[in-house]
Amino acid sequence: MKTAFITGATSGIGRASVLAFAAAGWRVVAIGRRTERLAELEGSVGANQLHCCGLDIRDDAAIDAAFKALPEPFRRPDCLINSAGLSLGRGPFQGGETDQWRAMIETNIFALLSMTRRLLPSLIESKGIVINISSSAASYPYPNSNVYGASKAFVTRLTLGLRSDLHGTGVRVTSVEPGMVETEFMLVRSGGDATENDRTYRGANPLAATDIAETLLWIAERPARVNINRIEIFPTSQSLAGFQVARDA
């Protein structure tokens, strides 16, 4: 039985991935901050397949302690899914708040780096796979996506760099770059504004978190000779917009 480590496991793509991988027969180490939601996952997945780590992935000491306490069957990762991430703030860069920038950079970039570096020795040993959840915002900017989009561009670029550095090890590396997915993304970004969240997704027929989770499972279960470098996934309802043009009054 293979083992997947999944961050951001308490909501959205991360949670859906825990359930999808467990249903496919994987062991899963589910990592997330909200312990009550981890408890819900424990009620849905058998104890022989799921081990939960309730922690903030920006907390290096907490990660070290949790990994040292892993039960033996969960100690050898075959797959790492870096799903934890967030977007904060809805305004342009010139009005941005530095504490929100710092939170995005620490979560979307540095915590991902730290988690990946910790698990790479074991992933090299198992000839496993790293799947990074980036975003279409990494390639296609939209108004007010500034720091979030830049952080995801880092993830996409890092994925390619890892592929190069891990050449010859047998480790596969993939960047998954979704468009609109209905999760708690907008609820977090808007500071809990349910009206804004509803307005974003209403009538848009966005992707579901399960759509992405099924794709991640497909990637992870390709033969060892197959590496998916990067994959963009959009809902059928979403396509690329035209350039903005500012006109004189």
Q: Phi and psi for 193 in degrees, rounded to 5?
A: -80, 100
Please count the residues of the chain. Answer: 249
Q: Is 201 annotated as catalytic? A: no
Residue 181 β-bridge partners:
207
Q: Compute the distance between CA of residue 36 and CA of residue 220 in angstroms, rounded to an integer.
A: 28
Q: Which residues of the chain form beta strands (DSSP E)?
A: 3-7, 27-32, 50-54, 79-82, 129-133, 172-178, 181-182, 207-208, 230-233
Q: What's 170's DSSP letter?
A: -
For residue 237, give the nearest of 202, 213, 209, 193 by alpha carbon: 202
Task: Estimate the share of the chain in helix, then strand, then coil, as percent rounded to the nearest 5.
Answer: 45, 15, 40
140, 142, 148, 201: which one is catalytic?
Answer: 148
Coil, strand or helix at 51: strand
Q: Compute the distance between CA of residue 237 and CA of residue 204 in angstroms, rounded to an integer.
A: 7
For residue 186, give the nearest of 206, 202, 201 by alpha carbon: 201
Residue-wise burial string across 181-219, b where 16 or more C-beta atoms lie within 10 A, e elsewhere: bbbebbbbbbeeeeeebeebeeeeebbbbebbbebbbeb
> Which residues are designated catalytic?
148
